[in-house]
């Protein structure tokens, strides 16, 4: 499973998928529910990246079912966020918002700042596509403030990008420029750090 994660990070999804499928087969053989859910989720991520949304949804739903059986709160929230992301890509925005809100309830209850920020940014993007710009802005601002406080630079970057797009669409070009500039600077910095980390 971990080898699959590394290949996924290296943008080699086909190789990654082979390892995730091997991990799933082993997990089923030894009846490790947690590992079965984890492997289903990882396989879903690969199909999502390959834009095979029906397959991704099938694996995400299977992961969610098992996580609910074993009562793993953070895992439930993660699966709901993944399912919501598929819905958003399919244009099922209202269904996506329901899943994002469910995930946020779990993350907030557990005090999971990283999960909360990530889900707020994803929800913000979906609301922006729905042209609900004020609601989207509220999501991005909350994520931006929380991620800044926590020092979570990737989510600061995501929130800054979202705010830049919202302000641009609202015609507030000064605010859009401010956030786009920060997004661009963070992107350059994080890309460099990420390359070093991978090496």
pLDDT tens digits, residue range 69-79? 998 888 999 99
pLDDT band at 198 (very low <50, low <70, confident <90, very high): low
Mean pLDDT over residues 163-176, rounded? 96
Condensed to tens digits (0 to 9), the pLDDT of residues 29-87 reads: 999 999 999 999 999 999 999 999 999 999 999 999 999 999 888 899 999 999 999 99
CA quadruple 195, 77, 85, 122: dihedral, nearest 10: -70
Angle between helices 113-129 and 93-110 (to 10 degrees): 160
With contact defined as beta carbons under 8 Å apart, do 166 and 132 qualify?
A: no
Q: Which long-range contacts (CB under 8 A, 24 or more apart) does 21-30 make?
A: none
Nearest to 164 by CA among 100, 130, 113, 121: 121
pLDDT higher than 70, residue 9: yes
What percent of the chain is modeled with pLDDT above 90? 88
The predicted model scores a pTM of 0.88
Distance CA 75, CA 63 (A): 8
With contact defined as beta carbons under 8 Å apart, do 56 and 47 qualify?
A: yes
């Amino acid at each position: 499973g971990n080898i699959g994660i590394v290949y996924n990070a290296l943008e080699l999804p086909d190789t990654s998928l082979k390892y995730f499928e091997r991990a799933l087969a082993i997990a089923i053989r030894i009846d490790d529910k947690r590992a079965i859910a984890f492997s289903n989720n990882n396989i879903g991520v690969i199909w999502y990246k390959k834009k095979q949304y029906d397959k991704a949804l099938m694996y995400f739903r299977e992961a969610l079912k098992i996580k609910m059986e074993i009562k793993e709160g953070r895992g439930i929230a993660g699966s709901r966020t993944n399912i919501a992301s598929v819905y958003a890509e399919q244009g099922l925005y209202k269904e996506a918002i329901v899943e994002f809100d469910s995930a946020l309830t779990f993350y907030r209850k557990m005090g999971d700042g990283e999960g909360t920020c990530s889900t707020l940014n994803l929800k913000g993007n979906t609301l922006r596509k729905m042209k609900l710009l004020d609601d989207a802005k509220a999501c991005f601002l909350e994520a931006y403030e929380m991620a800044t406080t926590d020092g979570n630079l990737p989510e600061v970057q995501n929130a800054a990008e979202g705010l830049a797009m919202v302000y641009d669409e609202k015609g507030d070009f000064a605010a859009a420029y401010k956030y786009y500039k920060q997004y661009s600077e963070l992107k350059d910095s994080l890309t460099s750090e990420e390359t070093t980390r991978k090496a």
